[in-house]
A and B are shown apart, each in its own frame.
Chain A
């Protein structure tokens, strides 16, 4: 085991005792990238010089004993849809292949201010549209557990980097499951915070009302360290919410005595791999035998979620992606153009991939005159009903546990020709985005060597309970 394979919490302890240096950790991660990333393709941009410079700066802080935070000196990979000043940010799209942002996303700024080491920008489905990272314009990322398989998506590069030791921590974004599902497929921990908990300023928008940035780590504890850095109100994002920010890592407990866990019956039906079901139920029972109370609940509007999600997400995306027009930045088609119309047409035809085009067209249709009420408005109504389901359920339970995904990682190419099949992969995750609720995927074993994820869903702004339940599970499972 190399330094880059350690948990962030353990590295932080060793760094503080000055038994190791940030340079050593960073070099170990960079070496891992060098050895493995030709195969895995988790990174679109690696920033070795910048990383080592930051590592040295971190080591100086440890030497002088000042400005030390839990993430100081820890290599962090950032999904390539978060703007990094002076470092290209592509969203895995041809249209932004050479785009260098003039500013840092709020989350990136916070991470750098706390002295973490930005090691590179990770691969993803183009504009975060996908569930397998196959929709990257720069080639798919592979699952480190089985390179024939997908790492999940859209934050596949981030989950892969953490699972493979190419980074210790990573930042992902989650619009319909894009942190949780790849975390599940790669066997790591990934958390989507409550909508409004983390500033979206600088996150390239896919679907503004659903997008949320969150941490990926090797343990719940690692995720809390990153959450402490990125959470909080930001006046640059008026959809971020000004509520007190807990000390997630400091208050992390594993006391689940009397914790009421809901199991929604609608999530354990046909379409769920029976082996995945078994693993999840085993995990729930384990929590039950350690003091938690397991309650069966119902979320009857669950069947509407995927439909509502794809209507709302594509509608917002069709508008959010209108700015890529070849005028101001990014790609402009070089083919001969007769005028403005053709400049738009050629630029967007060449710049966007198939799935992005599909979603833009769907979204335009959803919002168009005469269809708005039937699709967009109806989807918003369904969204309200789905949220009501959760509100009602949370009167009786403290958190809800479901599988993160109906299956383990599938093979590359297996679903890429069938968008509907691919969309159904998100069946357990999209409801949370529609409801704005926090959710976390924690590994709960493997099937044929492939990780299975357990999804824990919490009340709005109650990430602490999620962390507690997840942490308890990891502690118990480790002892077992």
Chain B
């Protein structure tokens, strides 16, 4: 049997605001447990939430980037449930009247044509704290502690539409997740670092036998810690569900958990056990009137979206499509590239150096581009020096390594280390004569018309000059002599 698949994501992205959603506690990822807490975010009696304007701005910015309508009236609601990491016994979220509704995102479709994925809503809500168990697993733990640093950190939830242009394959799922993440990073709304839990998602999946009119019940999967797990969970679930259908069984609506170790999904709760969250408008927060001017201002200040930037990089800067995709993949890298542009004459080379040498150095030293110590101006100068044949690529790599380690400029490093190219004709001529004298066999083969022998001689000179000789000049000199 063949099956059609519908995949519907609920993405949670932690916003990169300085403070929490309803209090002034800082948002940070390296604080000691319970360092960033106050009476409000730990739910002390009598405390009240005060909405963070920046978070509303971020949510609207995400909404605009994902082509949503921004509601002029928006309501915060309480989602009631008990868990120790939830200080108030309810999460402040949105139910009716979220900030953003009815959006879409264009991704490359399976058929090669662009596909428009429907986005149902984007709403703003607060995160919960974190439980820290005394042993590695919950079962083995004697006790658990709660860290409320994350409690109250603003999140946006992006809910895809399962009725309007849903995702139809694993490939589309990958593209969608990647593109959403890329957009959120580019518009400065979230860093989306998956390892820090800044980008998490639940996914709904339902199957239908090809040509049958209706889809089976949908199953929700939770607890995936990476893009890879999401895809693995979906793969597993497609297999599980199609086997059930093929053997004449029925899919029941349920929520399942992904087991990262066994790479399978296991039942968490059935539809009957689904909690009743008793949503109702939070009486501690007034209804939001979203001013049209406020939205217009956010629109005007919107950073360039990655798709547009990609085209500009290819068209205006002439870098290769492959390099452009790699650079656009990270907002900070794109910004670095652009800050190099004014100082650089060979943008194509700049692009390839960033995607090869620069990324290599970042990976080897496991640092982010934000912490990269080489100033764009110096990096651009290095590329120019290489591009103008002032130094060879090989020397360029040596200089780059030194720049990274010492923070020096390329010119000063070249000067200090004596890496300056040898271009003086008389010096080179003398060397060529010497080498030719030392390798009569090669010279005679060259005279017989074996042109590739010239490279052997150039290599010898390069070795002697530690790569500083101008290879083109040397080549010309040898050929002239012959």
Instruction: Please list the residues of chain A having a beta carbon within 8 angstroms of any beta carbon in chain B.
Output: 81-83, 89, 91, 96, 99, 101-103, 105, 200-205, 207-209, 235-239, 315-316, 318-319, 321-325, 327-329, 340, 344, 364, 367-369, 372, 376
Flag if B48 contacts A237 (CB, 8 Å). yes
Complex partner residue of B286 from A83, A91, A238, CB under 8 angstroms = A238
Roughly how many angstroms separate A228 CA and B58 CA in the complex, as a whole number? 40
> How many whole Å from A74's CB to the nearest CB in chain B?
24
Instruction: Please list the residues of chain B having a beta carbon within 8 angstroms of any beta carbon in chain A.
Output: 39, 42-51, 78, 80, 82, 84, 87-90, 146, 276, 278-280, 283-286
Query: With A322-B88, A322-B89, A325-B82 in contact, is A372–B280 under 8 Å at CB?
Result: yes
Complex partner residue of A368 from B43, B45, B278, B284, CB under 8 angstroms = B278
Flag if A236 contacts B46 (CB, 8 Å). no
Roughly how many angstroms separate A209 CA and B286 CA in the complex, as a whole number? 10
> How many whole Å from B306's CB to the nearest CB in chain A?
36
Chain B, Cβ-Cβ closest to A330: B45
Roughly how many angstroms separate A400 CA and B457 CA in the complex, as a whole number? 109
Flag if A367 contacts B286 (CB, 8 Å). no
> How many whole Å from A194's CB to the nearest CB in chain B?
15
Roughly how many angstroms separate A385 CA and B39 CA in the complex, as a whole number? 37
Flag if B276 contacts A368 (CB, 8 Å). yes
Query: With A322-B82, A327-B146 in contact, is A236–B280 under 8 Å at CB?
Result: no
Complex partner residue of B46 from A201, A325, A364, A367, CB under 8 angstroms = A201
Please, which residues of chain B bring their CB within 8 A of the CB of A369?
276, 278
> How many whole Å from B366's CB to the nearest CB in chain A?
37
> How many whole Å from B151's CB to the nearest CB in chain A?
10
Please, which residues of chain A bring their CB within 8 A of the CB of B43?
323, 328
Complex partner residue of B78 from A91, A204, A319, A324, CB under 8 angstroms = A319
Flag if B284 contacts A325 (CB, 8 Å). no
Chain A, Cβ-Cβ closest to B40: A236
Chain A, Cβ-Cβ closest to B80: A319
Complex partner residue of A201 from B48, B146, B280, B283, CB under 8 angstroms = B48
Flag if A327 contacts B44 (CB, 8 Å). no
Interface of B is mostly: loop
Flag if B50 contacts A83 (CB, 8 Å). no
Chain A, Cβ-Cβ closest to B81: A322
Query: With A238-B286, A315-B280, A327-B84 in contact, is A99–B46 under 8 Å at CB?
Result: no
Query: With A319-B280, A322-B90, A325-B84 in contact, is A236–B48 under 8 Å at CB?
Result: yes
> How many whole Å from A211's CB to the nearest CB in chain B?
9
Roughly how many angstroms separate A384 CA and B353 CA in the complex, as a whole number? 67
Roughly how many angstroms separate A321 CA and B278 CA in the complex, as a whole number? 14
Flag if B45 contacts A91 (CB, 8 Å). yes
Please, which residues of chain A bring their CB within 8 A of the CB of B280?
315, 319, 367, 372, 376
Flag if A205 contacts B46 (CB, 8 Å). yes
Flag if B80 contacts A328 (CB, 8 Å). no
Flag if B42 contacts A83 (CB, 8 Å). no
Interface centre among B48, B50, B87 (most CB of A within 10 A): B48
Given contacts A319-B89, A369-B276, 11 further A-B contacts (CB under 8 A): A101-B46, A103-B39, A105-B46, A203-B46, A205-B45, A318-B80, A319-B80, A319-B278, A322-B89, A367-B80, A372-B280
Roughly how many angstroms separate A99 CA and B278 CA in the complex, as a whole number? 28
Roughly how many angstroms separate A316 CA and B278 CA in the complex, as a whole number? 11
Roughly how many angstroms separate A239 CA and B281 CA in the complex, as a whole number? 13
Flag if A204 contacts B45 (CB, 8 Å). yes
Flag if A344 contacts B284 (CB, 8 Å). no
Please, which residues of chain B bring their CB within 8 A of the CB of A340?
84
Roughly how many angstroms separate A105 CA and B39 CA in the complex, as a whole number? 11
Chain B, Cβ-Cβ closest to A127: B45
Please, which residues of chain B bring their CB within 8 A of the CB of A238?
48-51, 284-286
Roughly how many angstroms separate A201 CA and B47 CA in the complex, as a whole number? 6
